[in-house]
């Protein structure tokens, strides 16, 4: 079955700097790759997603890239702000299952 690995587990960046979170997946049939943000005690919120026929997608300060050959996808957050502090999850979807990474705790230092 599908397996998703996510790195790093914790990422601390200075406010205003960029943050990059990386994920790899194992099932070449995966065709949808969402990223979720989860604040403490709250539900996951979709922040951006990408489908397998696209290599890159951007939405304001957030971008996602996908390398299907290498089975890698990454989340890029530019000009980080205090409200970006949260746990971020990547996921890969195949065969009616959404398989999640273990999460990255993003800390924005003032």
Partner 1 sequence: DAGVTQSPTHLIKTRGQHVTLRCSPISGHKSVSWYQQVLGQGPQFIFQYYEKEERGRGNFPDRFSARQFPNYSSELNVNALLLGDSALYLCASSQQGQSYNEQFFGPGTRLTVL
Please tell me whether residue 78 binds partner 1 under the rule CB under 8 A: no
Q: How many residues bind partner 1 (CB under 8 A)?
A: 25
Supply the Cα-derived Rg of the chain in whole angstroms. Answer: 13
Q: Find the binder of partner 1 among 58, 61, 72, 95 (CB under 8 A).
A: 95
Please tell me whether residue 108 binds partner 1 under the rule CB under 8 A: no
Q: Other C-beta atoms within 10 Å of 84: how many?
A: 19
Closest CA to 84 of 59, 101, 109: 109
- Footprint on this chain of partner 1 (rule: CB under 8 A): 1, 6, 31-32, 34, 42-46, 49, 51, 89, 91, 93-103
């Amino acid at each position: 079955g599908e397996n998703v690995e996510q790195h790093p587990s914790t990422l601390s960046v200075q406010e205003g700097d960029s943050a990059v979170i990386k994920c790899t997946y194992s099932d070449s049939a995966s065709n949808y790759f969402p990223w979720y943000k989860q604040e403490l005690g709250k539900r996951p919120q979709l922040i951006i997603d990408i489908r397998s026929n696209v290599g890159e997608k951007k939405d304001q300060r957030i971008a996602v890239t996908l390398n299907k050959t290498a089975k890698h996808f990454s989340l890029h957050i530019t000009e980080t702000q205090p409200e970006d502090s949260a746990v971020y999850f990547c996921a890969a979807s195949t065969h009616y299952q959404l398989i999640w990474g273990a999460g990255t705790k993003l800390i924005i230092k003032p």
